[in-house]
């Protein structure tokens, strides 16, 4: 293996490669496009395309693709070769500026929520030069946006880029007021921690539920799970260590700053964390990270599960989205700073995030909504489905002092005037981070912990960027009309805290008392995806997105339809899988085992053993009783699914699956898990939880 600095970015057409391969003027023009959103001419694009092609071919690439992220939240690619015919029957390798800038992959079968009809199937991809091209398995991948013939966004990248522009524009107004005249652009940055499970491939493939849905639909808990916390931060097993080593190498080749790796709380659960990069790049890189985690696992004889809750009763997996704002001069705008002007500026940005989280609670919850994540949120290992914000004692005390016009008293007893001129010098992590909070301030960033492990982080960052842009817009409009900036900031803090203090909660989010307190504060509690998504088309949300050019009403309606349709389809697949597993394997096994028990009891009686009842008889009755329950629940689930299939409207279908199908699925699971617990291991048709969670042994 090459040393890490030599390996890093070796398959990425990054700035170092651009600088080495492009003419000086071409490089400068491309940098202006990347840094300042200046349009790129076709002549410049042609030079870039040729250099990109030559670089890719030298590294073994034969094809290129416009790599995009449709509204499914996954990634998509269609490969075209560089080969072009010559008049003498030979072939040359070509790649033009037009082919770099724009593609037409069709891709009409992706969900689009009615934004494009099949008979108007044109879909276009447009190069995103702010995200570096890369080589994956011999293919030059060019990150692109994906839109319809009419210009509607058909992907996650387009609205994300729009939201980044919106927050940059409004944040620029604020920093200019504080004298940062040399700043040209402000970028949201993200570091996305990624949790996942690793189980042995042979064991995984014996489970139809894992194969079809990515999670277990049946399974009783093993005698030992995560109770002793002995897996958390434990020594890596050999296969896992070898796997992580290769994952890191593959990520580093693509310029992905994988930094941290460790065992998580649940058996077979692990985590990877990268270093912060711009939000657009972080989103692309997280999609690649998930792909690499899964592909490398197969090479090591394992399966990587990214489902948010693959095992009932065992911790699920999240994706902690660490978000901040930085200037192009390297200043983190969520760093409290050490001077009065920095303090006041920090308070404005902090208040914007507080107001955004409270005013648009539903959008934050929607951004983490999925059928899988519904099983995780509020399950005592993840934040609840109620939005709240953790600030820590020190910062909360400062804001309270300003809100109430009184001096701030620090922990040592010193008093300080809080006329919005100074705040304490806060250490990066001035208090223990609250792991139960959905949205926690952690020194110089906010950690949004609701996002599920299998989700694209685009949705979460679209919401954060857009809602914060709106609050910064309001603040800037107010501040621009004031003579005394310090006093005006003071008023912003007071007003924000008085209007939005309810969203701040520094206590235990896992405690049932918090849900009662949240209800008293009139915070939204949206436990399911359907409950949350029903708010997407609220008037204030449509107004917000249209005002800042992030989504049109039509695009939001399309997203609403896709959310609901996807939810219904996932529950349908899970319910259908449960029915098949119950009918074809669990019920026949249970009947056969009950018969064997009865035969054994009868054999004892026939041999003359005199007892009022035999253990075989009691166990046979127990198995038979649960089998009857399982059979009836399976029939009920079949009927519920058949009824659901008659519902044509996506939102009504989703609501039916949520309210009517899911409860029957739970009723079906209970007797099946009881039968598993009461049956000998050699009889049960699938690997058990114990088999799966401990399947990677060495």
Please give the biggest Cα pair distance in the chain. 104
Q: Which two tokens stand for residue 265?
A: 């709380």
Query: pLDDT exceeding 70 applies to what percent of the chain?
Result: 91
Q: Given a cut of 90, is residue 604 above it in pLDDT?
A: no
User: Contact 434/446 with Cβ under 8 angstroms?
Assistant: no
Determine the pLDDT at residue 211: 95
Spatial distance between the Cα atoms of 340 and 330, rounded to a whole number of angstroms: 19
pLDDT at 228 over 90: no
**Which of 164-173, 244-253, 388-397 comes out lowest in average pLDDT?**
388-397
pLDDT at residue 4 in the model = 85
| pLDDT at res. 117 | 59
Higher-pLDDT residue of 397 and 237 is 237
The mean-pLDDT minimum among 43-52, 194-203, 413-422 falls in 413-422
Instruction: Write the DSSP assignment of 439-469 as a string of letters.
Output: EEE-SSSEEE---BTTS-THHHHHHHHHHHH
Q: How far is residue 617's CA from residue 165's CA, in Å, rounded to a whole number?
A: 71
CA-to-CA dists, residue 665 to 220, 314, 632, angstroms: 15, 19, 12
pLDDT at residue 115 is higher than 80: no
* Of 32 and 559, the one with more pLDDT: 559
Rounded to whole angstroms, the Cα distance separating 485 from 506 reads 30
Average confidence (pLDDT) over 315-340:
89
Burial category of 648 from C-beta neighbours within 10 Å (exposed 0-12, middle 13-18, buried 19 and up): exposed
**Is residue 327 within 8 Å of residue 201, measured between CB atoms?**
no
For 181-196, the pLDDT digits (tens) are 999 999 999 999 999 9
Q: Which is nearest to 192 in space by CA: 509, 462, 529, 455?
A: 455
Mean pLDDT over 529-551 rounds to 97
Provide mean pLDDT across the span 600-626: 87
Question: Does the pLDDT at position 489 exceed 50?
Answer: yes
Mapping DSSP onto H, E and C, the string for 273-288 reads: EECCEEHHHHHHHHHH
Contact predicate 61/18, CB 8 Å: no
pLDDT at 415 over 50: no
For 627-674, what is each residue's pLDDT tens digit?
999 999 999 999 999 999 999 999 999 999 999 999 999 999 999 999
- Residue 153: strand pairing partners: 147
Supply 631's token pair: 């059979």
CA angle 579, 581, 585 (to 5 degrees): 130
Lowest pLDDT segment from 10-19, 332-341, 531-540: 332-341
Q: Average pLDDT of the chain?
A: 89
Residue 417, pLDDT score: 47
For helices 393-403 and 485-500, give the axis angle rounded to 10 degrees.
110
pLDDT category at 123 given cuts 50, 70, 90 is: confident
Q: How far apart are CA 162 and CA 169, in angstroms?
A: 11
Predicted local confidence at residue 89, as pLDDT: 66
Structure tokens at 441: 């301030």
Q: Which of 628, 665, 667, 671 is nearest to 644 (CA)?
A: 665
CA distance 440 to 27: 40
Whether 406 shows a pLDDT value over 80: the answer reads no
Question: Strand (E) positions, 534-688?
Answer: none
Q: Which residues pair with 504 in a beta bridge?
A: 389
Residue 411 is predicted with a pLDDT of: 59
CA distance from start to end of the chain: 24
- pLDDT above 90: percentage of residues in the chain: 67
- The span from the CA of 430 to the CA of 426, in Å, is 6
Question: In the structure, what pLDDT confidence band is assigned to residue 219 with cuts at 50, 70 and 90?
Answer: very high
pLDDT digits (tens, 9 = 90+) for 195-217: 999 999 999 999 999 999 999 99
Burial of 108 (0-12, 13-18, 19+ CB in 10 A): middle
Residues 261-302 pLDDT 10s: 998 888 999 999 999 899 999 999 999 999 999 999 999 999
> Domains plus CATH for the chain?
4-154 (3.10.20.70), 156-192+319-500 (no CATH), 194-318 (3.30.590.10), 566-693 (1.20.120.1560)
- Three-state SS for 116? coil
pLDDT, average across residues 300-305: 97
- Beta strand 63-67 with 139-148: parallel, antiparallel or unpaired? parallel
pLDDT band at 451; cut points 50, 70, 90:
very high
Q: What is the mean pLDDT of residues 338-344?
A: 70
pLDDT of 416 reads 45
Q: What pLDDT sits at residue 265?
A: 86
Stretch 35-57: mean pLDDT: 88
420-424: long-range pairs with CB below 8 Å, 24+: 420/343, 420/344, 420/347, 420/486, 420/487, 420/489, 420/490, 420/493, 421/340, 421/343, 421/344, 421/486, 422/340, 422/343, 423/336, 423/343, 423/346, 423/347, 423/395, 423/398, 424/336, 424/394, 424/398
Measure the CA angle with vertex 80, ends 248 and 562; round to 5°.
Answer: 70
Residue of higher predicted confidence among 204 and 98 = 204
What is the rounded average pLDDT of the residues 613-634?
93
**What pLDDT shows up at residue 218?**
96
Res. 418: pLDDT tops 90: no
Which pair of structure tokens corresponds to residue 666?
């739970």
Question: What is the DSSP annotation of 315-376?
Answer: ---B--EEEEEEETTS-BTTS--SSHHHHHHHHHHHHHHHHHHHHTHHHHHHTT--HHHHTT
pLDDT digits (tens, 9 = 90+) for 356-366: 999 999 999 99
pLDDT at residue 26 tops 80: yes
Helices 615-644 and 662-678 meet at what angle, rounded to 10?
160
Q: What crossing angle do the helices spanning 553-581 and 539-547 adopt, rounded to 10°?
A: 120
Over residues 144-169, the pLDDT tens digits come to 998 887 788 889 999 999 999 999 99
Averaged pLDDT, 461-468: 98
pLDDT of residue 341: 57
**In the predicted model, is pLDDT for residue 504 greater than 80?**
yes
Q: In 3-state terms, what secondary structure has residue 673?
A: helix
DSSP letter assigned to residue 102: E
Other residues' Cβ atoms within 10 Å of the Cβ of residue 452: 26
Strand partners of residue 84 = 92
């Amino acid at each position: 293996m090459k040393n890490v600095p030599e390996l890093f970015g070796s398959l990425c057409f990054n700035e170092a490669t651009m600088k080495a391969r492009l003419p000086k003027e071409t490089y400068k023009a491309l940098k202006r496009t990347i840094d300042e959103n200046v349009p790129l001419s076709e002549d410049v694009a042609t030079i870039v395309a040729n250099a990109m092609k030559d670089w890719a071919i030298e590294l073994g690439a034969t094809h290129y693709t416009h790599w995009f992220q449709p509204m499914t939240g996954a990634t998509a690619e269609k490969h075209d070769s560089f080969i072009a015919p010559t008049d003498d029957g030979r072939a040359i390798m070509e790649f033009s500026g037009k082919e770099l800038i724009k593609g037409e992959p069709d891709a009409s079968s992706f969900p689009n929520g009615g934004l494009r009809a099949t008979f108007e199937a044109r879909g276009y991809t447009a190069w995103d030069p702010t995200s570096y091209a890369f080589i994956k398995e011999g293919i030059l991948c060019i990150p692109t946006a994906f839109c319809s013939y009419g210009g509607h966004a058909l992907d996650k990248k387009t609205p994300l880029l729009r939201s980044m522009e919106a927050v940059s524009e409004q944040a620029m107004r604020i920093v200019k007021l504080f004298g940062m005249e040399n700043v040209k652009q402000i970028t949201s940055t993200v570091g996305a921690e990624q949790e996942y499970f690793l189980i042995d491939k042979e064991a995984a493939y014996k489970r139809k539920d894992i194969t079809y849905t990515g999670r277990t639909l049946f399974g009783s808990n093993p005698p030992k799970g995560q109770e002793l916390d002995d897996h958390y931060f434990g020594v890596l097993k050999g296969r896992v260590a070898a796997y992580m080593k290769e994952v890191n190498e593959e990520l580093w080749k693509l310029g992905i700053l994988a930094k941290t790796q460790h065992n998580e709380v649940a058996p077979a659960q692990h985590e990877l964390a990268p270093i912060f990069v711009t939000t657009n790049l972080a989103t692309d890189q997280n999609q690649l990270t998930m792909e690499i985690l899964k592909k490398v696992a197969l090479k090591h004889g394992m399966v990587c599960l990214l489902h948010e809750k693959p095992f009932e009763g065992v911790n699920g997996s999240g994706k902690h989205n660490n978000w901040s704002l930085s200037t192009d001069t390297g200043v983190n705008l969520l760093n409290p700073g050490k001077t009065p002007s920095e303090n006041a500026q920090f308070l404005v940005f902090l208040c914007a995030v507080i107001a955004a989280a409270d005013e648009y609670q539903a959008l934050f919850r929607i951004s983490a909504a999925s059928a899988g994540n519904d099983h995780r949120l509020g399950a005592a290992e993840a934040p609840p489905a109620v939005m709240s914000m953790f600030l820590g004692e020190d910062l909360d005390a400062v804001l309270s002092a300003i809100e109430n016009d009184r001096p701030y008293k620090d922990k040592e007893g010193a008093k300080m005037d809080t006329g919005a001129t100074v705040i304490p010098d806060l250490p990066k992590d001035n208090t223990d981070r609250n792991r139960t909070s959905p949205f926690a301030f952690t020194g110089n960033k906010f950690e949004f912990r609701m996002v599920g492990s299998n989700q694209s982080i685009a949705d979460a960052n679209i919401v954060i960027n857009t809602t914060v842009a709106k609050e910064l817009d309001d603040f800037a409009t107010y501040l621009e009309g004031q003579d005394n900036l310090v006093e005006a900031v003071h008023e912003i803090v007071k007003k924000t805290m008085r209007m939005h203090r309810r969203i701040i909660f520094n206590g235990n989010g896992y405690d049932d008392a918090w849900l009662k307190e949240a209800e008293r504060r009139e915070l939204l509690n949206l436990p399911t995806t359907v409950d949350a998504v029903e708010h997407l088309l609220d008037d204030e949300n449509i107004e917000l997105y249209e005002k800042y050019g992030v989504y049109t009403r039509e695009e939001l309606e399309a997203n609403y339809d896709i959310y609901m349709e996807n939810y219904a389809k996932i529950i349908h697949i899970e319910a259908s899988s449960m029915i098949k597993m119950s009918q074809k394997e669990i019920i026949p096994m249970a009947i056969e085992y009950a018969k064997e028990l009865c035969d054994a009891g009868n054999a004892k009686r026939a041999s003359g053993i005199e007892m009022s009842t035999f253990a075989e008889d009691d166990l046979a009755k127990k198995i038979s009783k649960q089998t009857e329950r399982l059979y009836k629940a399976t029939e009920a689930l079949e009927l519920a699914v058949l009824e659901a299939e008659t519902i044509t409207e996506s939102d009504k279908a989703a609501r039916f699956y949520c309210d009517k199908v899911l409860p029957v699925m739970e009723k079906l699971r209970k007797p099946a898990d009881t039968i598993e617990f009461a049956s000998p291991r050699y009889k049960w048709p699938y690997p058990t939880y114990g088999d799966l969670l401990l399947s990677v042994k060495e």
